A and B are shown apart, each in its own frame.
Chain A
């Protein structure tokens, strides 16, 4: 069984995001970038399944600018066997990413595709679902536990009401929750070995997919600052203020 894991390069989760002054986006120059955290969980799970003898190959794929390759190298350093980098500059929307991944899936013919449930930069939470539709494969989203059974996956999903256990047939798309596992550290010797593992480079333009944005971004701005609160002397004053100033009762 072969598992394809999609990883995305995003601004590190510890960095305080700053909006560009002209409102065209957020500042990314000299900002620490990392792999999207739930994508790390996806890689970890794929590697664990391989280590358990239930998969034969783990392929990491990323789509984006030249430096996006770093995320593939990181996946290789924690156990993926080889990588694919689909080069694409500029804004990439989930639909474009799904279509590109569809092409990669058609080429690689994996049995499973893993990825994070959503990326922490745009919070779209769409790519896995769209890819599932494009391939007409079953999907299991927000997975917090994955059991590989004969030709099937038993998956526990994190949902609003609690946990839901479902079974899907392979091939399938799985999007991973942060609770799925604890990603391992890349050891220094493994980082060195990862430098020698193969990474195929493809150009998005060669895959015959229209990746031009379909959504026009008008403006990016910071959320309004929360105003400081005030202390009221008694309940009567509170009610009076809620009624007359806040006009909520």
Chain B
């Protein structure tokens, strides 16, 4: 059956900071371009989750008058703290001893979801057609192998793959250029990287899982503009991670935790580490008496420069964290994602008008501050593979003395799915039970995300080998999916003495961790029916 198709100058997949920036910049450069932007969430912003301490550099270039346009960027960072935590103590690290990339006094505490909603308004006002609730689920190719566009998902398919009464076929969206801006571990981006060997000669990509909760806290504990980061407890010296706590407006704090997905112990539960972290006296005293109002989690890029794939290919560009432009030591990816969107738009306009090859993206990227930033940041994350203490010492030398310009580049040696050790060789971790005041279980947390998927639809978490979880992964790694999934999607249930692997796909909050960490790469995340997934507010 041939599907209906629609033609555009540019088709953009993903309504995050990079995709929206591309759309706006394209319209600024040439208002006659026909641009459509697809977003899998039910509305722009509903799948966006980020800290976020925002550096305005890219936005200043894109929309210098963002203040007059009433951008939701209001809370300037007023004070900074960095704490090393031991189980019950905390040691404050003087901020002047922090590398300049970790100093935030010019930045703002924002909700990235709200910023994206605002960017979408700007884009629509310029004439960009934005379609939330329409996941792109397939890449379309020309006969010469170049990218032709994407197809949207069929709607109204039941569990067994049959068409329901409400069946609505997807359509082909054809673009002279297609821009993939799906965010970290985009499921189409992953296919493109493989097909065009975009990561040839690069280190394996590195990821982390980030958690975020929003708390409404007691006025006396709230200090608007305060930015605090911690390292140390509850993680051991060999696990990469740390926390953030940002005091935003309206007595809210954005509290979060990031753990590198290169952790080795299959018994580790990132969710429970985050919950446990909140019981530290230095954290508890801030949120005690407050109320948790939001929860969410999302995988993020940590590989940086060494792992960044080539971002152009015939007919398409791969931008933002779909490629991996996050600056890890800065703990920021929004401004870099936006900058990659600006470069993408400039590239596309020259391509369309002057018939230049999309490969000019590379030269533009190399001449930009984005390249310089990522280059200087490159050695920080790999140095932490030597442990927290050596990592800090090296980072001090690399960032403070040499400003990231040491004449060598450390490598990322392993992909994150390769790092788990057999369960029998690693210590079990006994996590405390949630108290439902400071700490919570996964069920009540997922409830706060507003996550839903229409119930009668195919499972969107595909197993290459359905037997593998019980036959192999359970025995060797104690099936870590039960623990690394932040939404309780995966369970091993025992029925009549027989183990069964259960996938509660309706709980999925689209973080992509399973697609990354599953030791045999047995789980593939694909798009569910449009509009499914979390409904984040001001995350």
> Once the chains bind, are B168 and A12 in contact (CB under 8 Å)?
no
Cβ of A30 under 8 Å from chain B: yes
Question: Which residues of A sit under 8 angstroms from B113, Cβ to Cβ?
Answer: 30
Question: Which residues of A sit under 8 angstroms from B166, Cβ to Cβ?
Answer: 182-185
> Once the chains bind, are B450 and A12 in contact (CB under 8 Å)?
yes
Cβ of B376 under 8 Å from chain A: no
> Once the chains bind, are B538 and A188 in contact (CB under 8 Å)?
no
Closest Cβ–Cβ distance, residue A52 to chain B (whole Å): 14
Measured CA separation A183–B156 after assembly (Å)? 10
Cβ of A109 under 8 Å from chain B: no
Cβ of B390 under 8 Å from chain A: no
Question: Which residues of B sit under 8 angstroms from A185, Cβ to Cβ?
Answer: 155-156, 166, 168, 530
Closest Cβ–Cβ distance, residue B522 to chain A (whole Å): 30
> Once the chains bind, are A189 and B168 in contact (CB under 8 Å)?
no
- Residue of B at shortest CB range from A183? B166
Cβ of B129 under 8 Å from chain A: yes
- B window 1-28: CB within 8 A of A: 4, 6
Contact of A18 among B165, B171, B293 (CB under 8 A): B293
Q: With A182-B166, A183-B166 in contact, is A16–B117 under 8 Å at CB?
A: no
Contact of A184 among B6, B46, B134, B168 (CB under 8 A): B168
> Once the chains bind, are B164 and A16 in contact (CB under 8 Å)?
no
> Once the chains bind, are A15 and B171 in contact (CB under 8 Å)?
no
Question: Which residues of A sit under 8 angstroms from B134, Cβ to Cβ?
Answer: 188
Question: Which residues of A sit under 8 angstroms from B129, Cβ to Cβ?
Answer: 192
Cβ of B122 under 8 Å from chain A: no
Contact of A188 among B6, B42, B111, B164 (CB under 8 A): B6
| A/B pair count, beta carbons within 8 Å | 58
Measured CA separation A192–B111 after assembly (Å)? 30
Question: Which residues of B sit under 8 angstroms from A30, Cβ to Cβ?
Answer: 45, 111, 113-114, 117, 537-538
Measured CA separation A12–B534 after assembly (Å)? 12
- B window 29-59: CB within 8 A of A: 42-43, 45-46
Please classify the interface of chain B as helix (H, G, I), strand (E, B), loop, or mixed, using the class held by over half of its residues: mixed
Closest Cβ–Cβ distance, residue A191 to chain B (whole Å): 7
Question: Which residues of B sit under 8 angstroms from A160, Cβ to Cβ?
Answer: none
Contact with B along A18-61 (1 / 0, CB 8 A): 10010000000111101000000000000000000000000000
Cβ of A234 under 8 Å from chain B: no
Cβ of B451 under 8 Å from chain A: yes
> Once the chains bind, are B447 and A189 in contact (CB under 8 Å)?
no
> Once the chains bind, are A14 and B168 in contact (CB under 8 Å)?
no
- B window 441-467: CB within 8 A of A: 447-448, 450-452
Measured CA separation A181–B251 after assembly (Å)? 44
Cβ of B527 under 8 Å from chain A: no
- B window 159-190: CB within 8 A of A: 164-166, 168-169, 171, 173
Measured CA separation A29–B538 after assembly (Å)? 9
Q: With A16-B450, A192-B129 in contact, is A32–B155 under 8 Å at CB?
A: no
> Once the chains bind, are A12 and B42 in contact (CB under 8 Å)?
yes
> Once the chains bind, are B4 and A14 in contact (CB under 8 Å)?
no
Closest Cβ–Cβ distance, residue B2 to chain A (whole Å): 14
Cβ of A187 under 8 Å from chain B: yes
Measured CA separation A185–B166 after assembly (Å)? 7
Contact with B along A168-208 (1 / 0, CB 8 A): 00000000000000111101110110000000000000000
15 contacts between A and B (CB under 8 A): A12-B450, A29-B537, A30-B114, A30-B537, A30-B538, A32-B43, A32-B450, A32-B537, A34-B42, A184-B156, A184-B168, A185-B156, A188-B171, A189-B171, A191-B131
- List the 3 shortest-distance A-B pairs measured between CB atoms, nearest first: A185-B155, A185-B168, A14-B452
Apart from A185-B166, A188-B152, 6 more pairs, CB < 8 Å: A12-B42, A16-B447, A30-B538, A32-B535, A185-B155, A189-B171
